[in-house]
Amino acid sequence: MQRIVILGGGTAGTIMANRLAHLNRSALRAGQMELTVVDRDDSHVYQPGLLFIPFGKYTAQDLVKPRQDYFPSAAKYVREGVDHVDIDGRTVVLESGQHLDYDVLVIASGCHVAPEETDGMLGPGWRENVFDFYTLDGALALRKALAKFPGGRLVVNISEMPIKCPVAPLEFAFLADAFFNERGIRNKVDIQFVTPLDGCFTKPIATHELSHLLQEKRINLVLEFNTSRVDGAAGVLESWDGRQVPFDLLVTIPVHKGADFVGRSAGLGDDLNFVRTDPKTLQSLASPAIFVIGDATNVPASKAGSVAHFESEVLAPNIQRFLQKQPLRANFDGHANCFIETGHAKALLIDFNYDVEPLPGHFPFAAGPMSLLKESRINHVGKLAFRWVYWNMLLPGHNIPFVGAPMQMRGKRRPTVARITAGI
C-alpha cells in the first residue's frame, strides 16, 4: 500500500489531489494506494476575489465554497490542524496527536499574513484606520471603511516581500482611484503607494509600464520604505531608516509567513517558515519523499494560483516517477501568468518565468487576443472569467488549452533599452 498525504486543501492541495487521483485511479480503486488531504477547515476562499470585496463588487458568498466539494471522491479528507512533520519517521503529527504515516508527502499549506510581526500594527487603529484585504474579514471590514471615507490620505503599504500575488497591492491602488472617481471625491483623496522595492514592481520593463499608469492616475510612489512600525492612533507609518508617512486610512499588506507547523518541523523551512524547495523539481531539500507546491515553497516564483497550477503539471508526474523509482524531471521554469486590474473595466496581463521578465506583446497567440503589459477590456474580461476557470478547470486539475507549464515566447517582444528609457 502506498500512502500519499497532502497537507493543505487550498488551491495547490486541491489541484494535486485531483491530479494524483486521476493518475492513480486504478491503484486507488484496487486499494493499493491511499490518498489523504489534511486541512483544518472546510471553507475554500477564492482569494483573487478578495481584491474586489472592498469596492463592493463581490460579497463573501461569491467567494467561499466547501472544500470537500472539490476533493476527488477517492481521497480521504482529514479535517484537522497539522502540528509538525517528523521527517525521519515519515509521519505527520496532527494537533490531536494522531499520526499519519506517508510514503510521499505533498506540502501545500500556503502562507498567511502575520500583522503581529510589525510593531504596533495590531494596536490602536487596527480595523478602524488600519486594514488588510488579504483576509476575508479584513476585506469585509475595509469595504465599510471605504464606503464612508470622506477623503484624506490613503496609504497602500507592502510591509515586506515576499507576498502573495505581488501585483494585488497595485491593483488595489488602481481600483481605489477608480472607486473615488466614481464617488466623485477623487480630488479629496491623496493615494500613496509605499513599497520596500526600488520600483513599483520587481522587474524593469513591467515597472516602467506600471509607473506610467501610477502617474496617470495621480498615485504617488514612495520607494525603498522598509516598514518598522505602525502608529494607528497618530496615523503614521514609520520605516527602519526613520522616515514617516502620515495616513488617514492605511491599507497594509502585512509580512507573510509559511504555516507555523513548518517552523516546528526540524530542517523543513527557512526563517519565515517557507519550505526549502528545489525550484525545478519541487522536491523538498529536507527529504526526497517530501514535495512542495504553491505559496508554501521558497522558490523564486510568484506566490499565485496560476503558479500553483503550472507547478502541478510538473509535480504530479514527478511524484509518479518517484513512486516508480525513476529520476525526477527538473523542468519547472517558474511560469506565472497574472491579470492586473487597472480600473474602469480594463486590465493588463503579464506572463513570465524565472528567466524571462514580463514582456510586451500578445497572448496566448502571436495575434492575441489578449495584450501583454497593455491595458485592454478583454484582459479585464479574462480577469473576471478567471473565477469560473478557477473552480471549474484549475481546482479539478484540468490543463488549460494553449496555456501550459512551460512559458512560451510566442507573441512576446523585447523592447530595446533605448525605447524603455525614452518611455515608448
Ligand X SMILES: Cc1cc2nc3c(=O)[nH]c(=O)nc-3n(C[C@H](O)[C@H](O)[C@H](O)COP(=O)(O)OP(=O)(O)OC[C@H]3O[C@@H](n4cnc5c(N)ncnc54)[C@H](O)[C@@H]3O)c2cc1C
> Minimum CB separation from ligand X for residue 222, in Å?
21
Among 5, 6, 13, 159, binds ligand X (CB under 6 A): 13
Binding mask 302-321 for ligand X (x = CB under 6 A): -xxxx-x-------------
> Minimum CB separation from ligand X for residue 297, in Å?
8
Question: Residue 172's closest CA among 130, 214, 223, 226?
Answer: 214
Does position 166 interact with ligand X (CB under 6 A)? The reply is no
> Minimum CB separation from ligand X for residue 386, in Å?
7
- Report which DSSP code applies to 8: -
Binding mask 264-303 for ligand X (x = CB under 6 A): ------------------------------xxx------x
Contacts of ligand X in 385-424 (CB under 6 A): none
Q: Which stretch binds ligand X (CB under 6 A): 68-76, 106-114, 236-244, 373-381?
A: 106-114
Nearer to ligand X, 208 or 309 (CB): 309
Question: Residue 357's closest CA among 335, 342, 382?
Answer: 335
Distances, alpha carbon 6 to alpha carbons 12, 56, 335, 343, in Å: 10, 35, 23, 38
At residue 378, the 3 state secondary structure works out as helix
Main-chain phi, psi angles of 169, to 5 degrees: -60, -40
Encode 351-378: b = buried (16+ Cβ within 10 Å), e = exposed.
bbbeebebbbbbbbeeeeebbbbebbee
> Minimum CB separation from ligand X for residue 8, in Å?
3
Q: Which stretch binds ligand X (CB under 6 A): 2-10, 22-30, 206-214, 313-321?
A: 2-10
Q: Which stretch binds ligand X (CB under 6 A): 69-77, 105-113, 116-124, 223-231?
A: 105-113
Longest dimension (CA), the chain: 67
Binding mask 315-354 for ligand X (x = CB under 6 A): -----------------------xx---------------
Exposure of 67 in the CB half-sphere (CA atoms within 13 A): 23
Question: What whole-number distance in Å separates Cα of residue 250 and Cα of residue 172?
Answer: 12
At residue 22, the 3 state secondary structure works out as helix
Q: Cβ-closest residue to ligand X?
A: 10
Question: How many positions of this chain bind ligand X (CB under 6 A)?
Answer: 36
Question: What whole-number distance in Å separates Cα of residue 158 and Cα of residue 227?
Answer: 8
Does position 12 interact with ligand X (CB under 6 A)? The reply is yes
Question: What whole-number distance in Å separates Cα of residue 361 and Cα of residue 385?
Answer: 21
Contacts of ligand X in 64-103 (CB under 6 A): 81-82
Binding mask 120-149 for ligand X (x = CB under 6 A): -------------xx---------------
Q: Are 395 and 361 within 8 A, CB to CB?
A: no
Backbone CA torsion sign across 59, 60, 64, 65: negative
> Minimum CB separation from ligand X for residue 383, in Å?
7
Contacts of ligand X in 27-46 (CB under 6 A): 38-41
Nearer to ligand X, 8 or 411 (CB): 8
Nearer to ligand X, 29 or 99 (CB): 99
Backbone CA torsion sign across 418, 419, 420, 423: positive
CB atoms within 10 A of CB 398: 15
Among 54, 72, 110, 343, binds ligand X (CB under 6 A): 110
Site residues (vs ligand X, CB under 6 A): 8-13, 38-41, 47-48, 50-51, 81-82, 108-110, 133-134, 164-165, 168, 259, 261, 294-296, 303-306, 308, 338-339
